[in-house]
Chains A and B, each alone.
Chain A
Amino acid sequence: MGEGFASVLRMANQIPLVEYLELGDQPHLKAHECTSCGARYFDRRNACAGCSGTEFTQVVVPDEGVVKAFSIVTFAAPGVPVPFVSAIVDCGGTSVRGNVINCEPSPEVVHLGMRVRLATYVLGTDDNGVEAIGFGYEPAN
């Protein structure tokens, strides 16, 4: 399934950084939602950590949310470009991890309770001319 999905996107010359980022006219994040308890996950699942159920449906995660935690990272592992703003965004009750982008990475600009919305960007192009598309959250106002 993942392979087919990826090849369709390669034909379109774009591939998402992660499979839970759906590209297209209106890029959005999608999650696996447990049909028994409603728990949401972004990774490939064997079962549900909340209730051990094994049935999931795919749901769309709201694009807008509120920053409920962040850190401005100025020191990271080799190869990780700094500075960047790591954040946890509450998107209508679903917690999402992502960078706060398209604004200055400073505590004067980024704050708790900040309203943000999903934004995508090209993070690089491979030898086949395929662009990898990343996502982050930018200030909503």
Chain B
Amino acid sequence: MSDDIWILGITMTKFGKHPDKDTVDLAAEAAMGALRDGGVTMKEMGILAAGCLMQSNAGIGQQLQKQIGQTGIPVYNVANACATGATALRTAIMAVKSGEVDMGLAVGVEKLAGAGLLGGGGTPKSDKKEWSPSGRYGAVTNTDGRIGAASMPAVFAQVGMEYGHKYGGTSFELFAKIAEKNHAHSTLNPLAAYTKRMTLEEIMNDVMIAYPNTRSMCSANCDGAAAAVVVSDAKLKTLSLEQQRRAIKVKASVLTSDPYEEGCQVLPNVNTLTKNAARIAYEKAGVGPEDLDLVELHDCFATAELVHYDNLGLCEEGGAADFFLSGATWRDGRTPVNVSGGLESKGHPIAATGIANIWEVCHHLRGEAGDRQIEGAKVGLAHVIGLGSACGVHILEKSGL
């Protein structure tokens, strides 16, 4: 017996438009799917952790219980920007790890189809007839668009451009090629919101949102849910051989926030907290980037994917552009990245994302990924980042059985 934690069951719904389902329907579909996948029931769960960022005061966990099983267990409703799903999973993992329970369920769900641009704007004050300073900056009117941009596409565009300024090698075309890869990968994923291969030309000529990110270089708003059942090592050993064989070991589960650095309150620094999370995760897991058979990382925008190659240590410092151009991150490359299609084509139903990317990795480690299977995958990493900021990194390993 050890203090290892395992993922016993995990699932994601189809990402896309689900006009006939509400968040509870989607969460229930994912949760019941994960329980079925793990061969267990609600009665065996000792804790439920759930997130739905856009309805984060609605108690999605209890709403879900009222549909699939009010067993009286503690519910933790969590909200942590785009890392909400990873935070829910980590909450369940911590509860099992503490020894308080031997099984837990984590669920992330979001309905975002048609939501449009996220971030930015704010209450316009321009109709005021007298300028009056308010807020922490003493602003007399809305500053979005007047003192830089607050929208997500522009913030992450600047994140990629800052990397280019520091290390060189970036261009509009380079960033567009990252989206080309992810859209190509998505054609093999039946659960992705968009599965159309796009040419580099189509991507670069698509509607410009925030240079250098065109529409097809931005994550797709959509509906979806994902859920996972986690189990202690001791409990797993009492289950069937088939359950043990399909269980995926959580080699590391790490959550970080951004430490103070110059400029981090001017342009969010998404790098250091990711580097910190990766370093801690590799240490805990006893593996290095070279051991990873696949990586699902948070490509909320094409410009973001590039910097995370470096942040996760997949390439040498400053070498992300060359690393990508070598073909390393395509599905037949040295370190396949976002073989699911990534957020740019699979979609990004915020709170579901941090569990769905773990599902993708588990799917390959179990050898169940069908047409898009990365052959012989044994170890994988899943990364998410929520602006504000929160970063989740999980390293997962195939069962030795």
Chain A residues in the interface with B (C-beta under 8 A): 2, 6, 10, 15-20, 39-44, 49-50, 67-82, 84, 86-88, 93-99, 107, 112-113, 123-124, 126-128, 130, 132, 134-135
Contacts and interface: CB of A to CB of B under 8 A. Distances in A.
Contacts of A17: 139-141, 143, 146-147
Contacts of B146: 17, 99, 123, 134
Nearest to B172: A107
Contacts of B131: 10, 15, 126, 130, 132
Nearest to B156: A71
Contact of B142 (A40, A71, A79): A79
B130 A88 contact: no
Interface string B253-269: 00000001011011100
B211 A75 contact: no
B124 A75 contact: no
B172 A20 contact: no
A98 to B, nearest CB: 6
Contact of A81 (B143, B145, B154, B165): B145
Interface stretch (B85-93, B202-210, B361-369): B202-210
B161 A95 contact: no
B144 interface: yes
Nearest to A107: B211
Given A73-B151, A78-B121, A123-B146, A68 B141 contact: no
Q: A41, A73, A96, A126 — which one has the most chain B CB atoms within 10 A of its CB?
A: A73
B148 interface: yes
A42 B120 CA distance: 19
B203 to A, nearest CB: 16
A16 B300 CA distance: 35
B143 A126 contact: no
Contacts of B159: 69
A69 B210 contact: no
B161 A72 contact: no
Given A71-B155, A81-B145, 4 more contacts: A6-B133, A20-B137, A76-B117, A126-B128
A80 B208 contact: no
Contacts of B119: 77
Given A43-B137, A71-B161, A127-B129, A18 B265 contact: no
B133 A19 contact: yes
A98 B144 CA distance: 10
A49 B266 CA distance: 13
B149 A86 contact: yes
B158 A71 contact: yes
Most buried by A among B119, B126, B207, B265: B265
A70 B157 CA distance: 7
Interface in B143-185: 143-151, 153-155, 157-159, 161-162, 164-166, 172
Contact of A18 (B144, B147, B166): B147
B145 A76 contact: yes
A6 B137 CA distance: 13
A126 B130 contact: yes
A15 B133 contact: yes
A72 B147 contact: no
A92 to B, nearest CB: 12
Interface in B105-131: 117, 119-122, 124, 126, 128-131
Contact of A99 (B117, B128, B147, B262): B147
Contacts of A41: 265
A71 B130 CA distance: 32
A102 to B, nearest CB: 14
A2 B117 CA distance: 34
B138 interface: yes
B43 interface: no
A127 B265 contact: no
B77 to A, nearest CB: 27
A68 B163 CA distance: 9
A2 B133 contact: yes
Nearest to B160: A69
Contacts of A43: 136-137, 265
